Every structure is written in C-alpha cells, then in structure tokens.
Amino acid sequence: MSQGITLSVLASQLGGEPRGDDVLIDRVASLESADERSLAFLANPRFKVQLVASRAGAVVLKAADAQGLARPHIVAADPQLFFARAAQLLHPQPAVIAGVHPAASVSAEAFVDPSAEIGPGAVVEAGAKIGRNVVLMANAYVGRDASIGEGSRLYPQSCVMDRCEIGARVILHPAAIIGADGFGNAWATDHWEKIPQLGRVIIGDDVEIGSCTTVDRGALEDTVIGQGARLDNLIQVAHNVQVGAHTAMAACVGIAGSTKIGARCQIGGAAMISGHLEICDGVVVLGGTLVAKTIHQSGVYSGSYPMQEHGDWLKNAAQVRHLNELVQRVKQLEKQVMALGAAPGASGEEEK
C-alpha cells in the first residue's frame, strides 16, 4: 500500500481539479467503507445520499455533482477513470522478486531473464522464453517454445501451452488456460478421429484474462487476442477465433470457432456467439444474447432468439407481452368472419 499522497499532488498527476483541504490519501474505497484516509468516487448522482453519509476523506466526482460540497474533493471529467488510475497509483502490484524458487522446474534449454520471478512449483519447459520482470506464481506452467513478454504476470495454476506467445504486461488469472487443443474431430463411421490442432495462441500486449478462461489454439492458423482486450472469468474462446484490440467480454461468454470479433466491442455475460461469423468494430452485445449471424454495423444488440438490433428487439418484446390478447382478438375475428360467410346471401351465387 502507498505511504500516502496529498489531494493536490494526486490531482496534478492524474489530471483533476482539487478543491477544499489538501488532505492526505493512502487508499481507495467505496463510499460505504471509506475512512478519513480514503478516496471514494461518485459516478452517478443517484448515490448522493451515500456521499452525505460517507466518512471518505475525499471524493472524486463531476463538476455538476460538486456544487455546494464542503468535503475535500477532486473534480474530474470521468470520475470512474480517475478513480481507476488513483487505485493503480495507491495500490501498486507487489514488486518483482527476481530469482528462481528452489521448488520450481526450469529446463536448462529455456531462457529466463535474470529479472524474472519464478515461484514454487512453476514449470518452464525447453525452448521457452521468459522476459524481463515476468512473474510466474506458484504452479504456473509455460510450455515448450512458448514466450512470455516483459512485465507479464501468470497467477497460480495458469497455463501457457507449447509455442504460444504472450505479449508484454499481460495478466493471466488463476487457472487461465492458453493454448489447449481446439475441439477438432472428424466422424469415422463409428467413432471420432482427433484432428491435430497445429496453430498457436497469440496474445497482444496489455491483455487481461480471467480465472478459468480457456483460449484454444488454432487448428491450422492461430487464435489471436488483440492488444488491450479484457476477458472475464469462465470464457470459452474456440480455435481460430480473432478478438480485436480493446474488446471486453464479461463472464461465461462462449465463442465458437473461426469467428472474428472487431475492436472496442463489448460482449455481455453469458452471450453465445456462433462460429464462422464476423462482428464489426464497436458492437455491444448485451448479456444472454445469441449471436447467430454476422454483424456488419456497430450498435447495441440483444435477445436470446432471434438476435436483432436492440431498438427492434425492444419493440418486439413489448408486443410479446400482449401476445395472449392478440391471439384472443384473432380468434374472435375468425369467428366473426366464419359467421358472415355462413349468413344467407353471403355468397355470390345466392345473390344471383
């Protein structure tokens, strides 16, 4: 934890406007749990009641929400972003402790930069390359000819399989699996024949991948996760998928093979994306949505079935709520039509 920083210095480093007493801050916290040394943030004016009751030493908020506020505060254009950067400053990652733990297993044919930290039970196979200031925590695994870029951190039980490439400053949370075989099988009349998965996984710089998320290696070409992407826990990325830069996915998303997802997309939790599709840049897919066709235009999409543009889905969903009423009206109209057809003089021949 940081030894503390004054509000004015914090604002000058991160681009905010300090107001009120120049208090000392050494941690970040929520409005509810903050104390006099804590910085909290207000992202939505709906939570002003919590701000009034909070014990936070300072708060970061928008100018419109700061009117009449006596508490020390920082005005920022984006309070949440300012808060995130303040949290990084006040709560830095533990320093790298260079060296190889006696209980680690490092091949004599691997390269490990002297600045790297290799924890107990970690395994580094032949031909692997471990870059500067990399941290492999307990029982992390790096396969043959794999590479881990500068400043990356592999948490316990995370796994990078043979020949996969991890960029700089990548975070793999516990039990993340990079480079497992894709689901490739051919039916041979009465049994399945395995299709060898010969591609790799390539992960760009500054990517973060959550616990128990699996990124499968490509069948022939590579599976690629672009720079700055964020993958939450329990996500399945199948073979040959491509994910664009800075795309974010919430937990339990499933992506079938060979789908291409553009840059700066946001995929909500438990969304399911079929294979061999393309999703263009800047698409938002809401949680639980089934994406079964290519998306050519950026926008917000939702619905379990069928997937469609969000505005259209909302209109149709409103009609579905009245479906029973519509059915009853149709039945009544059918009865009326049948009654008219059976009435004397209703047919052309009778009129003649």
Catalytic residues: 239
Strand partners, 73: 19, 59
Residue 242 CA to residue 278 CA, distance in Å, equals 9
Is the Cβ–Cβ distance between 126 and 142 less than 8 Å? no
Q: Which burial class, exposed, middle or buried, applies to 179 when counting CB atoms under 10 A from its CB (0-12, 13-18, 19+)?
A: buried
Q: Which burial class, exposed, middle or buried, applies to 200 when counting CB atoms under 10 A from its CB (0-12, 13-18, 19+)?
A: buried
Helix residue ranges per DSSP H, the chain: 7-14, 48-53, 79-90, 310-320, 323-342, 348-351
Residue 335 CA to residue 177 CA, distance in Å, equals 62
Query: φ and ψ at 165, to 5 degrees?
Result: -120, 125
Tokens matching residue 9: 């210095």
- Block residue for tokens 């970061």: 60
Residue 259 CA to residue 34 CA, distance in Å, equals 44
Is the Cβ–Cβ distance between 298 and 282 less than 8 Å? yes
Residue 341: CB atoms within 10 A of its CB come to: 9
For residue 230, the SS3 value is strand
Q: Which burial class, exposed, middle or buried, applies to 342 when counting CB atoms under 10 A from its CB (0-12, 13-18, 19+)?
A: exposed
Is the Cβ–Cβ distance between 170 and 158 less than 8 Å? no
User: Element (H or E) spanning 118, and its range?
Assistant: strand 117-118
